Structure 1
Amino acid sequence: MAGRPRSGVRRSEPAPQRLQARQPRPRSGRPVPHSRGARLGDVDARRSAHGPGNDARLLGRGRRRRRAEGRRLRADTASRQRHAAPARGPLRRAERTRGPRPRLLLLLRPLQDRGHRSADPLPLPAGPHPRSALRRPRPRGGGAGPAGRAPPRAAGALKSEGRAAALALLCAINTLNFFDRQVLSAVAEPIRREWALGDAAIGALGTAFTLLYAVVGIPFGRLADRGRRKRLLAAGVFAWSLLTALQGLARSFAQLFALRLLVGVGEATCAPAATSLIGDLAPPEKRSRALAVFMLGLPLGLGLSYAVSGWVAQGWGWRAAFFVAGPPGVLCAALALALPEPARRAQAPRSGGIVASPYRRLLAIPTLWWIIASGALHNFNMYALGTFLSPYLIRAHGADLRQAGLVSMLAYGLSGIPGMLLGGLAGDALRRRGPAPRVRLGAGLFLCAAPLILAALMQPAGRVLAFTLLLGLACAAMAAYYSIVYAALQDVVPASLRGTAMAVYFLAMYVLGAAFGPVATGLMSDRLTARAARAAGVLGRDALALEPFRAAGLHAALLVVPALALVMAAILWAASRTIARDTQLLNE
């Protein structure tokens, strides 16, 4: 009989059910409705797992019971479809193309669970049935993340077009970062003359920016590691753009000094948040190129700032240059909110455990110490050059404000574009041999840059073209530092601490390097100017008496730049001796 077990068949343990193992058993004779994932052909926990011979409810003792079972299953599925409004178009099309599931499988499915676990001879369609995706509607805000938000997508889930657009926007934000930062250097000479300042005071305006920029970068780095990076970046862009425009309203040196401090707070959000995003958007073998594209904002911003600010200041005064620099940042702040927020790339923790303090863990990496030292010296050089390049051209070569801005744009700004791009490509090519050859490339480039800077500074007055070519080649070689060393930092730092590592690195770069570069060079220029005046027999200390000797004093002060470039080459060579071991420890 259909309802009795066959003779000679030994009962075994019930086979594991396929989809409905968690279905509760009925407590009474009333049938329990199927769970949400039920479909025709699935085994129900209410049914016997020993074949159709023991399942009277499935086969019944007549055709009427089988029809009732089919009607109940169809009604149950139709009820789920009414509550699955979001799954309409693609799901229905997939169901039509797949076709109906054979009804014979309803009877033959239990045979697969009985003694045929290793082999599955029945031609069942692969994968889940389309109806299994029909679920009851999710609650509002129903993401898996905290507070109902959807979890961030992994970098691989973003299309290449989306990654390219995000990288282009980050490059534009970085361009505005350096554009707004360099406006003061482009118009430093008219500000100095209007308020009768010395070179040390001009350098102090740069120091005001960099000191607060570096200190505030530490908490912003921790926020970049824990929070929504695009929101932090958008808020920072809006803040520094507004404050840059307000600098044009300053009526004294003290007001301009205070506004420069606040601009540093806004710009401190850019590097930790942006580099952390790029570290998750780009895989390690393409990270140098991605960072090179991002750091293109440095030469573009510097070059455009010199050209645009010098042209505007020549025609409408130095205050108008600040008014022009502010508005583009407001647009970029709005666009930054549309950036993707990729999932952070995870790395296995070290076998010895994780140090409680993230700063102690970072400072336990030997290569990071060499990278921090290189960043301090590099920023000393670049900020000293950037602050006093336009004044040097006006004093030593007799250029006007517009010509000085054009030469500074070519030699100091746009020359960095080929250096960064070629440095990123060469760095990625050398990275295939290991992490050390990429850092050695940076050491060699600084070894070549030192004599080029010295030759440019030794050009006589009026040789502007030779000065531009020599300094442009040197700045192109030094610009490769960013795409090479930033990628090396990502190689030795855990993914969860990249924002903090960049904040610590920037603290040393700006406090020990950029903060001292302009003010130290300005102090040396003032002292050497007074010495040149005394050598010429001028004993007066007022600004009018010292003005003819300021070109000689600034020229002598800038000779420190090629000397420090040689020290940079030695430091990067030392970093190449430790980076292989630190990278290996990180990946263990």
Structure 2
Amino acid sequence: MLPHVVVPSILAAFLIPEWHLSGAQAGLLAGSGAAGYMLTVPVLATLTDRIDARKILIAGSAVSALGTLLFGAFATGLWSGALFNAIAGIGFAGAYMPGLKALTDRLAPGDSSRAITLYTSSFSFGVGMSFLVSQLVAEAWGWRTAFFVTAAGPLVMLTVCFLLQPVEPKPASGRLLDFGPVFHNRKAMGFVLGYGAHCFELYGIRTWIVAFWTFVVARNSDASILTPVVVSVVFSLLAMPASILGNEFALRFGRHRAITAVMLASAAVALLIGFFADKSPWLLLPLILIYAITVPADSGALTSGMSMAADPSHRGATMAMHSTVGFSLSALGAWALGVALDATGGPQSASAWMAAFSVLAAGILLGPLALMWSRKETRQS
């Protein structure tokens, strides 16, 4: 996870001014990693139904490191940066969902909800470390060095991969990219579509959190300790306990009910942040911290719900669909916020941030609709 948000981490302070990027271009650059992921994860995750996911995890970790190194060494503008970031995203497609499949293949039979939630919440801890390392290294030694340092993360993962015991999946039948059974699984598709709404919001705010807090700090001289580094790292680290607690909430009160409550709360908090965007950071900070909890609190419940609703013989394909939808909307979220900022005055305008957070709220409100559709279809069937 170490290279995962190095591009969003350095956008506002380095890449936007050096490469003269508009908001839409910056969103496109940040979303290119998710785009590379989206294009390749259907094949790579589905392959885990046929070969040991550990083998794909090894290849994915190597390609992730390669794309990160290429960006640091050779990126000179929007399109070269987008290409190398997409390569890193392709590598991540061979790491995240195949990693989850490698985990579930090695778990004892039974309810794997908590193990899956721990895995998905560790994603957020990795993002927090990525924000921290990327920004500190870029400020001390330049933004290119941040890519060289963070590329070490996937290389360390290779060692872990080789230590895993091989586990061959049961023989699969049918075509490799046969998603028909996944589409017909209404219960699983509700979680998949809900995850898409979650990813739109999550990647949108992760891409622009540093730029937003840079805007907040620039307007206030009484927030010297609340730097973009501190806020972005704390925002990401809170996601890990939030995701775990969200899943526990779902186990206690019902998965659909808990996820819907979290998504509605998240939309409300996003609108409040946008409304108070030009106010004191001491007013905004509690809202940001609440948002740091509501944004990821549905993640573990959605992913574990998908995994448990999936047909065991098509679990890899279901995970592939889950990731494809999620990261497609991740790329869209990063770009959509950039477009909203451009259209309403730019990142130096409070009204533009109101528009951006309104886009986030609208995106996450699609999640409860997907769950309602899924529940209705499941009852009818």
Q: TM-score, normalised by structure 2?
A: 0.89
Aligned 8 A contact 1:213 1:265 in 2: yes
Cα shift readout 1:538-565 (whole Å, capped 9, x = no counterpart): xxxxxxxxx8x44542442222112333
Counterpart of 2:196, as a letter, is A
Q: Are residues 1:456 and 2:255 paired? A: no
Query: 2: distance between equivalents of 1:282 and 1:478?
Result: 28
- Which residue pairs with 1:516 in the alignment? 332
What's the CA shift for 1:485?
1.3
Aligned 8 A contact 2:50 2:169 in 1: no
What's the CA shift for 1:276?
1.7
What's the CA shift for 1:246?
2.5
- Which residue pairs with 2:311 in the alignment? 494
Query: 2: distance between equivalents of 1:404 and 1:357?
Result: 42
Query: 1: distance between equivalents of 2:47 and 2:224?
Result: 44
Q: Are residues 1:280 and 2:88 paired? A: no
Among candidates 433, 444, 447, match of residue 264 of structure 2: 447
- Which residue pairs with 1:126 in the alignment? none
Aligned 8 A contact 1:231 1:337 in 2: no
- Which residue pairs with 2:360 in the alignment? 561
- Which residue pairs with 1:264 in the alignment? 89
- Which residue pairs with 1:372 in the alignment? 192
Among candidates 48, 51, 60, match of residue 236 of structure 1: 60
Runs of 5+ unmatched residues, structure 2:
none
Aligned 8 A contact 2:250 2:257 in 1: no
Q: Are residues 1:529 and 2:345 paired? A: yes
Stretches (4+) displaced over 6 A = 354-357, 399-402
Counterpart of 1:210, as a letter, is A
Aligned 8 A contact 2:43 2:177 in 1: no
Q: Are residues 1:223 and 2:42 paired? A: no
For residue 299 of structure 2, give the secondary structure of its aligned residue in structure 1.
Answer: helix
What's the CA shift for 1:508?
1.8
Q: Percent identity?
A: 21
Cα shift readout 1:46-93 (whole Å, capped 9, x = no counterpart): xxxxxxxxxxxxxxxxxxxxxxxxxxxxxxxxxxxxxxxxxxxxxxxx
1:333-352 to structure 2, matched below 5 A, reads 333-342=158-167, 344=169
What's the CA shift for 1:574?
3.8
Specify the structure having the higher radius of gyration (Cα): 1
**Superposition CA RMSD, Å:** 2.8
1:15-54 to structure 2, matched below 5 A, reads none
Among candidates 288, 293, 304, match of residue 118 of structure 2: 293
Counterpart of 1:469, as a letter, is P
- Which residue pairs with 2:240 in the alignment? 417
Query: 2: distance between equivalents of 1:284 and 1:488?
Result: 16
Greater Cα shift, 556-565 or 184-193: 556-565
Among candidates 560, 566, 571, match of residue 370 of structure 2: 571
Equivalent residue pairs, number: 375
Aligned 8 A contact 2:23 2:338 in 1: yes
- Which residue pairs with 2:205 in the alignment? 385
Query: 2: distance between equivalents of 1:275 and 1:381?
Result: 22
- Which residue pairs with 2:249 in the alignment? 426
Query: 1: distance between equivalents of 2:170 and 2:84?
Result: 38
Aligned 8 A contact 1:311 1:401 in 2: no
Query: 1: distance between equivalents of 2:20 and 2:53?
Result: 43
Query: 1: distance between equivalents of 2:46 and 2:6?
Result: 29
Runs of 5+ unmatched residues, structure 1:
1-175, 431-436, 531-546, 583-588
What's the CA shift for 1:517?
1.0
Please identify which structure carries the higher helix content.
2
- Which residue pairs with 2:8 in the alignment? 185
Query: 2: distance between equivalents of 1:277 and 1:581?
Result: 34
Query: 1: distance between equivalents of 2:296 and 2:310?
Result: 22
- Which residue pairs with 2:324 in the alignment? 507
Aligned 8 A contact 1:211 1:510 in 2: yes
Select the structure with the greater relative contact order (CA < 8 A; seq sep ≥ 6). Answer: 2
- Which residue pairs with 1:329 in the alignment? 154
Q: TM-score, normalised by structure 1?
A: 0.59
Aligned 8 A contact 1:277 1:341 in 2: no
Counterpart of 1:501, as a letter, is T
